């Protein structure tokens, strides 16, 4: 059950919502004003560390490399 980030197009409030099914994204309403005029924001993800690792990593990288092996 992913948590998605949304922004309300009526009041411009950003919020997160737990969506149980992708088919229910159109049922999300703004908690601030109650509007159903919301847009899903693009967001990063977090992943679990490998066994023995002590921290988590985000889905983005600060490196300028795109993962092709060249710098």
Q: pTM higher than 0.75, yes or no?
A: no
pLDDT band at 43 (very low <50, low <70, confident <90, very high): confident
Asked if residue 36 has pLDDT above 80, the reply is yes
- Give the number of C-alpha atoms closer than 13 A to the C-alpha of residue 60, restricted to the C-beta side: 4
Helix %, strand %, coil % of the chain (to 5): 10, 25, 65
By the 10 Å C-beta count (0-12 exposed, 13-18 middle, 19+ buried), 29 is classed as: middle
Question: Residue 63 has what pLDDT?
Answer: 46
Q: Where are the domains of the chain?
A: 3-44
Q: Which fold has domain 3-44?
A: Rubrerythrin, domain 2 (2.20.28)
Asked if residue 64 has pLDDT above 50, the reply is no
Q: Looking at residue 5, what DSSP letter applies?
A: E
**Mean of pLDDT values over 33-59:** 76
């Amino acid at each position: 059950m992913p948590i998605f980030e949304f922004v309300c197009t009526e009041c411009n409030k950003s919020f997160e919502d737990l969506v149980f099914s992708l088919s229910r994204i159109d049922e999300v309403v703004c908690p601030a004003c109650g509007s159903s005029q919301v847009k899903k924001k693009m967001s990063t993800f977090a992943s679990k560390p490998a066994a023995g690792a002590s921290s988590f990593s985000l889905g983005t990288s600060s490196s300028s490399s795109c993962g092709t092996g060249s710098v």
